[in-house]
Amino acid sequence: MARFHVIIPAAGSGSRMRADAPKQYLSLHGKSLIQHVIEVFDSAIRISSINIILSADDAHWRSAYFNASSKAHVHYCGGDTRSVTVLNGLIAIEAQVETDDWILVHDAARPGLTNLLLDQLLNTLENDAVGGLLALPLADTLKRADSEQRVSATVPRNDLWQAQTPQMFRYATLKEALTKFNGTATDEAEAIEALGLKPKLVTGELRNLKVTYPQDLAVLSALFNASYLT
C-alpha cells in the first residue's frame, strides 16, 4: 500500500516580509510558522515522514522545532528556487520511499492547514490517477495592468482557482515532472501539467493562506483567534 510523505521546502529568504529572519521562523501564537506546519503533519496518523528541506547555510533552524516528532527529518539541500529545493528533497529521500508513494509538498509559511482539511485532501486523492492540490475558487474580479499600472483588461474569473498546498502527487511522477520541466515551475502542479496530466482541484480554506506580506500574518492571527473561539 502506498504511503504518504511530506516535503516542506524551507530554503527561501522571505524577502517580501521585510523581516530579520525567513518568514517560516516568524512567530504566530507562540510558535514559529514552521512549527505549526510540522505539528499538523505529525498528528496525522497516515503521514509516514516529514522532510524539511533547508538551505545549506540556514542559521535559524533549531532542533526544538521538530524534536517532538519522530517522523521529522532535516535535509540541508535547498536550492535557489522552490522547484529545485523540492527536487533535491525528492532525491534526498529516494532510498526511503517507493515510486508509487504519495508526496505532499507544503509551504513552510502556510501554518493554517488543519487535520480536517488534510484528511479531505488525502481521502479525495488517495485513489486518483494523477493527484492534485488544495485550491480556492477566485471570488474577486481580476484586472490585468499595463506598464503604467492602469487597467488594460478585465479577466473573467470563471473556472479560475488560487492554488494552495499541500500539492500531492506520486513520487516517481513528481520527480519526472520536475526533472523534465523547461524553466522554473511556480508550483508542483505546473510541472505535472507539463507532462500532459491534469491535477485535481480540492477545495481548500481561507485560513490555509500563505504568509507572504506583513499583513498576511495579522490576517492569519485573526483567523486563528476566531477558530479558537468556536
Q: How many domains does the chain have?
A: 1
What local confidence, expressed as pLDDT, does residue 230 receive? 43
Structure confidence by residue, pLDDT tens digits, 175-200: 999 999 999 999 999 999 999 999 99
Average pLDDT, the chain: 91
Cis peptide before 166 (omega within 30 of 0): yes
Q: What cell was used for 177?
A: 515532472
Is the entire prediction scored with pTM above 0.85? yes
Do 100 and 2 contact (CB within 8 A), yes or no? Answer: yes
Structure confidence by residue, pLDDT tens digits, 12-47: 765 555 557 788 999 898 889 999 999 999 999 999
- Looking at 61-114, list the stretches that DSSP marks H as alpha helix, in order from N- to C-terminal side: 82-92
What local confidence, expressed as pLDDT, does residue 222 receive? 87
Residue 159: is its pLDDT beyond 80? Answer: yes
CATH of the domain at 127: 3.90.550.10
DSSP 44-60: -TTEEEEEEE--TT--S
203: containing domain: 4-229
CA angle 198, 4, 127 (to 5 degrees): 45
Q: Residues with Cβ < 8 Å from 17, sequence gap 6 or more?
A: 23, 26, 211, 212, 213, 214
